[in-house]
Structure 1
């Protein structure tokens, strides 16, 4: 038997360890339920536990009605959502179950690190392959001095970039500047690297030009949220550290999303979020605009009904659709978390349909499979019975011709990043009890669902 055969015949100790972590998580979860049952007696405690579970259901339903209603009903719903956990806490104290409940909560909290230790092994291959970065002679960096509250000036990015030999172009007007055209002019003038200090929307436009010309692209985390920079492991607290890529950099080949031909690096959102952001009042009063528009949007009385075609799957009348350049974690419905990879060559697609409080509670339990779908595909088409559809693309509100076609270009973007960057680590796995059960009790865990 060869050495290779010996390796293949050896037991998978990593899988075995993950299985025991998964079983430990279930054991702690069972103990969290058993402690009050054993301590306070079966009959009395079962009633208290049912009250606790019921309060969560009532709170979720009340929060839904708060968002979906107006007037007196909205504020009554908010009051119920606030009072539900308070009433349950009082009942536990009166039943002399507070200590048991605290012990159960501690045990429940301990299940989280065990579950993550089990699931972390499933996504350990999260590092995008790095290759040596060739030297550049004429890097051109486009900087938005207003982005991120003035980070370009705050971190002295222009001077530091010019000291490293880069040409800096500031987006200062007058009037609206065509960033795509500006980047193409830089390429025509001999730029052999393009970079952006600005928000994700600007990053995407210049990234598209870099991909078209097979040029390396440098991301400088000078925007407000910097989601793309976060997924690349870049320093979001000090954007000047991103410039280290010019003197000691490596290259990553990552995917680039396209929506009706326009590039995007993070995601495109349809439905509720896109309609709210499109409102002129949103910029001045975000919370008030959301509360004012959500009832009609949730009831389907505002915005055109959508049809999402995700590969071979068709979802009709979802209230929200999120299409992302590579999928987010299974518990991240809003695209606020990290993507563990940017080179899988697929789009992530999440659709949400919540027409009533019962479906809202079903989403909490992950039982409403019709209300929530999560898939991956190389193409997503969102259609509506209107000529144009509002879409939020990398945080910018756009009106795009219908149907809207989202595709992905695998490995199209050469990202130049510093060799040493603080955020290079696997995304922390979220607790998915369905996958955890498969890992704990099946000989081989099932592959991730799409």
Structure 2
């Protein structure tokens, strides 16, 4: 399994923190920078640290990727992580510069996928010892996304309403409440999903999810990814007709039984083209960021697109 050189060798990390991310705002920039710096230096890491506002984040990431550090450590939410991944791929650095994630956002789906601890200091310490492994990504309009895309009522709702901030459980409650209130009345989309072999799935839905690889049926609020490099993405299409059906589906999800829901259509593929009848554009949520995009959408899996620092890989490594 690929890994960084032994701790006795000099390793260089460049760290880019989004100082407007939730954890930095809550704890304070100085406290976060100090905690991360101390943890990395204790692990023998030569460090270059940047904490910047969101408006300067892209430029800072570009400068970091242009360098020759062993790893780019991104501190922020899932949108910040997706921006870093896209830049690494555009610069051809995905084989020479690993990417690590500090969970500073709200849901931190990418960090959770990698098996990162959610405690800041523990996460920084783990990044100094965890293995480096390949990770698939989804490409849409030239950008890489690591976790999830959503079509339908939820991204439209997010575009129309202010975003909830704060602790992820509070945000999850607001998300559930708003979803149940509006999902059953949102106009259905007539979608045509065309796979790489030409097969087409036509469906009427209020929400469709495209997940990088697949999610496991486990008890809990946030999904758990089955693999980092399974070589496909999975599409889940809701055909629920009532609010009660959606509510039953949510509780089945909490109990880890949601794949048994007969009103959820599921397919796995590596390329997908999405059309919507009588629509030229659609709101789409991609790793937490919402944009209105022109149709058709063309999503392509990029197998092993990134080298990532993943603590979960050490836990999954067979004994012996």
Q: TM-score, normalised by structure 2?
A: 0.75
Inter-CA distance 309–200: structure 2 relative to 1 (3 Å threshold): same
Contact 1:158 1:168 in 2 (8 A): no
Check whether the contact 1:278–1:397 (CA below 8 A) recurs between aligned residues. yes
C-alpha separation between the residues in 2 aligned to 1:418 and 1:136?
21
Q: Does 1:376 align with 2:263?
A: no
Match of 1:414 among 304, 307, 320: 307
Asked if structure 1 preserves the Cα contact closer than 8 Å seen for 2:10 and 2:46, the reply is no
Distance apart, 1:249 and its partner CA: 4.0
Equivalent residue for 2:22?
148
Match of 1:325 in 2: 212
Instruction: Output aligned runs, 1:209-248, within 5 Å.
Output: 209-211=87-89, 212-214=92-94, 215-236=97-118, 238-244=119-125, 247-248=128-129
Say yes or no: does 1:309 pair with 2:194: yes
Instruction: State the alpha-carbon separation in 1 of the partners of residues 313 and 203 from structure 2.
Output: 46
Given the alignment of the two structures, is residue 177 of structure 1 paired with residue 56 of structure 2, yes or no?
A: yes
The worse-fitting range, judged by mean Cα deviation, of 320-329 and 135-144 is: 135-144
Deviations 1:165-208 (A, max 9, x none): 221121226xx2352x4322223344442120111111111022
- Offset at residue 305 of structure 1 (A): 3.5
Deviation per CA, 1:370-418: give whole Å up to 9, x if none.
x321121101222223332111111121112211122111111101246
The one-character-per-residue Cα deviations of 1:246-287 (angstroms, maximum 9, x if unpaired) are 643421111111122211111000012212112134549767
Q: How far is the alpha carbon of 1:344 from its aligned partner?
A: 0.5
RMSD: 3.4
Which ranges of 4 or more aligned residues in structure 1 deviate by more than 6 Å? 361-368
- State whether structure 2 residue 261 is matched by structure 1 residue 261: no
Tell me: CA distance 1:361–1:391, structure 2 relative to 1, closer, same or farther (3 Å): closer
Q: 2:37: which partner in 1?
A: 159
> In the alignment, is the contact (CA less than 8 A) between 1:145 and 1:153 conserved in 2?
no
Secondary structure at the aligned position of 1:242 is classed as helix
Structure 2: runs of 5+ lacking an equivalent: 166-173, 253-257
CA distance in 2, matches of 1:271, 1:336: 20
- For the residue of structure 2 that corresponds to 1:293, the secondary structure is helix
Shift of 1:345: 0.9
Q: How does 1:49-60 map to 2 (within 5 A)?
A: none
Distance change >3 Å, CA 230–CA 167, structure 1 → 2: same
Taking structure 1 as reference, are residues 234 and 367 closer, same or farther at Cα in structure 2, changes over 3 Å only?
Answer: closer
| Structure 1 residues 275 and 248, CA gap change in structure 2 (3 angstroms) | same
SS of structure 2 residue aligned to 1:141? strand
Q: How does 1:128-143 map to 2 (within 5 A)?
A: 130-134=1-5, 137-143=11-17
Q: 1:196 aligns with which of 59, 68, 74?
A: 74
Secondary structure (helix, strand or coil) at the match of 1:166 reads strand
Contact 1:276–1:282 under 8 Å retained in 2: no
Deviations 1:17-51 (A, max 9, x none): xxxxxxxxxxxxxxxxxxxxxxxxxxxxxxxxxxx
The alpha-carbon distance between structure 1 residues 294 and 217, as it changes in their structure 2 partners (threshold 3 A), is: same
**Residue aligned with 1:165, SS:** strand
SS at match of 1:344: coil
Q: What is the rounded CA distance, in whole Å, between the counterparts of 1:317 and 1:233 in structure 2? A: 35
Change (3 A) 1:210 1:229: same
Higher normalized strand content (fraction of residues): 2
CA distance 1:276–1:189, change in 2 (3 Å): same
**CA 1:336–1:418: 2 relative to 1, 3 Å:** closer
Q: Which has the higher helix share?
A: 1
Match of 2:83 in 1: 205
Whole-angstrom distance in 1 between the partners of 2:300 and 2:145? 10
The structure showing larger relative contact order (alpha-carbon pairs under 8 Å, at least 6 residues apart) is 2
Secondary structure of 2:84's partner? helix
Whether 1:402 aligns to 2:286 is no
Would the aligned equivalents of 1:195 and 1:206 in 2 still touch at CA under 8 Å? no
Q: Please give the residue correspondences for 1:68-79 in structure 2 after superposition, counting only pairs within 5 Å.
A: none
How far apart, CA to CA, are the structure 1 residues paired with 2:298 and 2:178? 28
Q: Helix, strand or coil: the match of 1:317?
A: strand
> Which of 225, 235, 242 matches 1:339?
225
- Equivalences for 1:104-119 in 2 at 5 Å? none
Q: Per the alignment, do residues 410 and 243 of structure 1 end up closer, same or farther by CA in structure 2, a change over 3 Å counting?
A: same
